[in-house]
Chains A and B, each alone.
Chain A
Amino acid sequence: MVNPKAGIHGWGAYIPIYRLPLSDIAKVWGWHPDQYKGLAVEEKAIAGSDEDALTMGYEAAYNAIQRAKIEPKKIGAIFFGTESKPYAVKPSATIIGEALGITPYTMASDLEFACRAASEGMRSLIGMAASGLIDYGLAIGSDTAQANPGDVLEFTAASGAAAFVIGKTNNAVAIIEDSVTFVTDTPDFWRRSSQPYPLHGEGFTGEPAYFYHIENAVKTLLERTGLKPSDFDYAIFHQPNGKFPVKVGQDLGFNMDQMKDGLVTPMIGNTYNASALMGLARVLDKAKAGQKILLAPFGSGAGSDAYLITVTDEVENRKHLAPMVDDYLNRKILINYATYARSRSIIHVIK
């Protein structure tokens, strides 16, 4: 089987400044004070009232292009993965492309596959860059995750973005050596087109969806590459909460040392399309030449990808060209439920 290879040339992240303590959600909705403790998340990042998935994706992409050290016009495809796009019809990718100076000679589209749409964009870009169809492509994962107020999902649904410039392997900061995708029809989580908030098929969330798909994608990648979990320096999984990624990692044979740097959800909640990808951005902020990374995003509905990524010595030249994930993590303003409700349009205003 042909295995086209591509490289990551730039990476970038964005986390809004506002944080809502989960204890505030529990108080407002009358949950047991310990209700959210099992999620291993204490605060969640909230986009401000002038932010949406598009503005957050713009900043992550700006950071990724700064690190890639390329003219924006060299980007030949923009894939914007989100499940909270500001327009149902009107591509966010063209607005981001215009604002970043990439338009007009580029492909541009918004992708949807719950939390793994941006990862689908990355897989597409691998083939497009390796084949020579484009010089560089931009994959962006960004979400202002929605949750029905009072639903258990509200504890973790957070806001954030991550972006990657993908191109040929030469001069890349990391080589995507191989990747696998595993999808099935699974009713674990959905949002109908006219509905503001998603629903979840309770019994399907864990084993039949998250664990089944990630484990199959990762095991297939390991078999195909002949690698063992101990061959990796980092392992990054989709992070709907702080608990699932640790359990799936341990079930697959990875340890906490391999997983800790890629775990971002315990600090800011689940940023959906940016969840695992922000973990990758944080790992690249820290990684050294020659290190091996396993990346496994997941999206409901359901599917998972598994990537084998090897870091090159070029990574050191790019780290300081844009803010790091920890710069965004350390910058925060605590808000209360009322401010969150206003900025996320939970209070219905007649306009």
Chain B
Amino acid sequence: MSMDLSISRFWRKKEIIYKLNGAKCKSCGKVHYPPKNACPYCGSRDLEYIELPRKGKLISYTTIYAIPEGARSQSPIYFGLIDLGITKITAELTDITDPSILKKDMEVEATLRKTQEDRDAGLIYYVLKFRPVLVQK
């Protein structure tokens, strides 16, 4: 998700944000996230929402030090490119104090966290972030 949040934009996209709902193209079968109006692979507008897997593998990450005002207490933010098998997504990584553990193919899983808050009195925005898996199978 973009970090440009507003109350109405967040409310419209809550299904996508809370449940990791991606779009599957009924024409070419490919999955993308976040859902667009047309399939980015074949252009078809015949799409259906599906819940994406909650576990995946880290492909790469970047560290962000220029933090939006409502997330300063979370600095730095680690942003990951994650392979969920049926598609790849970008998402915030969490529970990281030592970025040297962030290796390619590291298993990660989704959990609900705060991404930003509108100062002390405003809305709190919750999203699914990814953390190193708790239980190795």
Q: Name A residues whose Cβ lies closer than 8 Å to a Cβ of B.
A: 17, 48-52, 54-55, 58-59, 86-87, 95, 98-99, 101, 323, 327-328, 331, 333, 335, 342-343, 345, 349, 351
Contacts and interface: CB of A to CB of B under 8 A. Distances in A.
6 contacts: A17-B95, A50-B113, A98-B14, A98-B18, A99-B112, A351-B119
Given A99-B19, A349-B72, A351-B119, A50 B134 contact: no
Given A17-B95, A99-B112, A323 B135 contact: yes
B121 to A, nearest CB: 9
B126 A333 contact: no
Nearest to B17: A99
Contacts of A343: 73
B73 A342 contact: yes
Main secondary structure of the interface of B (DSSP, over half): mixed
Most central of B19, B115, B119, B135 by chain A CB within 10 Å = B135
A349 B73 contact: yes
A86 B124 contact: yes
Given A52-B114, A331-B134, A101 B19 contact: yes
B57 interface: no
B4 interface: no
A165 to B, nearest CB: 18
Contact of A95 (B72, B73, B120, B126): B126
B63 interface: no
B119 to A, nearest CB: 4
B97 to A, nearest CB: 6
A50 B114 contact: yes
A55 B134 contact: no
B94 interface: yes
Contacts of B111: 55, 58-59
B112 A327 contact: no
A335 B114 CA distance: 20
Interface string B67-94: 0010011100000000000000000001
A194 B42 CA distance: 56
Contacts of B74: 49-50
B32 interface: no
Given A342-B73, A351-B120, 18 more contacts: A48-B95, A49-B73, A49-B74, A50-B74, A50-B114, A51-B113, A54-B112, A54-B126, A55-B111, A55-B112, A55-B113, A55-B126, A328-B134, A333-B95, A333-B97, A343-B73, A345-B73, A351-B119
Most central of A49, A50, A98 by chain B CB within 10 Å = A50
Nearest to B124: A86
A22 to B, nearest CB: 20
Contacts of A87: 124
A256 B69 CA distance: 50
Contacts of B94: 48, 50
B73 A99 contact: no
A328 B95 CA distance: 13
B91 to A, nearest CB: 13
A86 B114 CA distance: 11
A98 B111 CA distance: 14
Contacts of A95: 126
A59 B115 CA distance: 16
B72 A323 contact: no
